[in-house]
Amino acid sequence: QLQLVESGGGVVQAGASLRLSCAASGRTDSSYAMAWFRQAPGKEREFVATISGSGRDTYYADSVKGRFTISRDNAKNTVYLQMNSLKPEDTAVYYCAAGLYGNSRYRYVYWGQGTQVTVSS
């Protein structure tokens, strides 16, 4: 089993930055792709960003491209999401996931519990 724990969420004003972290423990495997998804109240969980096991490949949702950056440190079993120029529409619970590289939630087997990000206008 692989456990994922997110941290770094909070309440910020529009235009601010936050960095989310996701620490993996248990049966860690650097070959897993890691991703961030988010879910706003009343909405479906949506893809945000993903990074391959090596860290060489990344892919972003159009809504965050140019503002968010995903990275990973395999030595620390941690993946990060740097979020800049935050907008109120970025408000959601952010989930970390591990699995196969791609933008579909069904490619990811392991999920964290989520961390709340709230952006006020």
- Reply yes or no on whether the pLDDT at 84 is more than 80: yes
How sure is the predictor about 29, in pLDDT bands with cuts at 50, 70 and 90?
A: confident
Alpha-carbon span 75 to 79, nearest angstrom: 11
Q: What does pLDDT average to over the chain?
A: 96
Residue-wise pLDDT for 41-73, tens only, equals: 999 999 999 999 999 999 999 999 999 999 999
Q: What is the pLDDT of residue 92?
A: 98
Q: What is the pLDDT of residue 30?
A: 80
Q: What is the pLDDT of residue 27?
A: 83
Q: By three-state DSSP, how is residue 17 classified? A: coil
Alpha-carbon span 109 to 117, nearest angstrom: 23
